[in-house]
A = this chain, B = another copy of it.
Amino acid sequence: MAKRPADPADDGAAAVRQVPMRDFSRSLPMSLLRAREAVMRQFRPSLREHGLTEQQWRILRALAAIDTVEVTELARTAFLLGPSLSRILRDLEARSLIERKTAKADQRRSMVSISEKGVKLMASVAPSSEAIYAEITRRFGARKLVELQEMLGELEQSLAGLGAGEEASAEE
């Protein structure tokens, strides 16, 4: 209701005083940001104690499940952009948590896998991580959690292929 046009023509003066747009703190991006932050705030301390960042942990988890993957595929799985992943892999490799070797068939591709050390590190973090997840589930409610995730998935689907610029329609 009442979308609040943000009326540009409405002469600057008053525009600034009253509700300029949708209260803003109630916008979808903010809601998602705050919810995610509330969740991550629970995990960060534990990860930090083990010398891992959120993204590094994502990568290790993805690797543990897939065994061996190309960088591009890993980027998709861990939901990281190429450049970020590239840097992180360099660091994880330096710390011997992962291993990398170029594919024989295609010299451009490098196959990544978690190392023994990496597996051990994961094993030491997992319990705490699982406990936190369980506590979150308990507090919010298992059923609602499933429901929430379904809605998030639907939202994602709704917007799939909207701003990705499927070429052949943009002015650039």
Q: Mark A121-149, 1 if CB is under 8 A from B, else 0.
A: 01110110110011110011000110111
Partner of A17, one of B27, B67, B155, B160: B67
- Pair B139/A28 contact, Cβ less than 8 Å: no
Contact indicator B19/A65 (Cβ below 8 Å): yes
Contact A149 B28 (CB under 8 A): yes
Indicate if the CB atoms of B17 and A152 lie closer than 8 Å.
no
Report the Cα distance A101→B128, complex, angstroms: 47
| A65 B24 Cβ-Cβ under 8 A | yes
Asked whether any CB of chain B lies closer than 8 Å to the CB of A103, the reply is: no
A52 CB to nearest B CB, Å: 14
| A74 nearest CB across to chain B (Å) | 12
- Knowing A2-B67, A126-B8, the reply to whether A39 touches B119 (Cβ < 8 A) is no
In the bound complex, residues from chain B placing their C-beta under 8 Å from that of A63 are 3
With the chains together, A2 CA to B76 CA distance in Å? 22
- Asked whether B24 lies within 8 Å of A67 as measured between CB atoms, the reply is no
B162 with A6: CB separation less than 8 A: no
Residues on the B chain within 8 Å of A61, using CB:
20-21, 24
A108 within 8 Å of B (CB atoms)? no
Question: How far is B159's CA from A120's CA once the two chains are assembled, in angstroms?
Answer: 30
Contacting residues, chain B, for A152 (C-beta < 8 A): 31-32, 34-35, 148
The verdict on A77 contacting chain B, using a C-beta distance below 8 Å, is yes
Residue pair A151, B147 in contact (C-beta under 8 Å): yes
A163 and B41 contacting across the interface, CB-CB below 8 Å: yes
